Amino acid sequence: MPDPPAWLADLKSAEPTARTRVGIGLCVTDASIPLTHAGLVHWEPGEEPRMLHLAFHAMVREEATGEFPVEIFWSELPLDDDGAAALAGACRRIGKRMPSVRYGIVYEGGTLAEDGTAVLGGDAVGLTCATYVLALLRSFNHNLLVLDTWPPRDDDDPWHAHILKMLIGFYCKHKDVLTPDHIVAVSRERGCARYRPEEVAAAAGVAWPSPFDVVEPRGGDARAALVARAKAAVA
């Protein structure tokens, strides 16, 4: 199987950590489409790595990375001990509360409140897994991306269409947490700029805030390698 870029490390083969560390986790959840997924990994001495992530609409999860059915790679954030401890503490608090965060594609600089609820900016109606990470980091004044350098991309349209199908399927099973009006609101976001999981992960190891032309090639390399590995694993 192809190796990921050097800036992505495999959590399964990592040695135990001697200090609190935080980074952005990246994995492929569906190789056939393909779908990538991101979350915030926090790793403390004497414990296995855990990842806080927005699994989907109203589904904030904080769980051990070893419990995931797919390989998780991560790019560590260059934080000092206090900064890493603050983020790790936030991940633990939010994970215990399991706040409901809506799914949405447009991101205009939102953050997370102390209890983990989303404080959305501009015309946003929710967060993706990738912008959930951006929002959490922004809450601690870590601004990873130069947001207005991201262009809309035509090849995101099939992804948008798939997300809408997933939301409709989710609504059929969970009408108590998702409304048709919200699905319509997300449908109106088609064609907007999208911050991809692999691009958010790619920004972890470069100067912040990072523009599109810096992280897009790095993210593309990571996506290609991880998708190829995922396809080989199920072949």
Q: Give per-residue pLDDT as tens, 13-43.
A: 888 999 999 999 999 999 999 999 999 999 9
Residue 4 counted as domain residue = no
Residue 93 counted as domain residue = yes
Q: How many domains does the chain have?
A: 1
Q: Give per-residue pLDDT as tens, 177-223.
A: 999 999 999 999 999 999 999 999 999 999 999 999 999 999 999 99
What's the pLDDT band for 1 if we cut at 50, 70, 90?
Answer: low
Domain span at residue 88? 9-234
- Asked whether residue 234 carries a pLDDT value surpassing 90, the answer given is no
Residue 181 counted as domain residue = yes
The set of long-range contacts for 191-194, using a CB threshold of 8 Å and a minimum separation of 24, is: 191/152, 191/157, 191/160, 192/105, 192/106, 192/152, 193/106, 193/147, 193/150, 193/151, 193/152, 193/153, 194/105, 194/128, 194/150, 194/152, 194/153, 194/156, 194/159, 194/160
Residue 1 counted as domain residue = no
Residue 204 counted as domain residue = yes
pTM across the whole model: 0.97
Residue 3 counted as domain residue = no
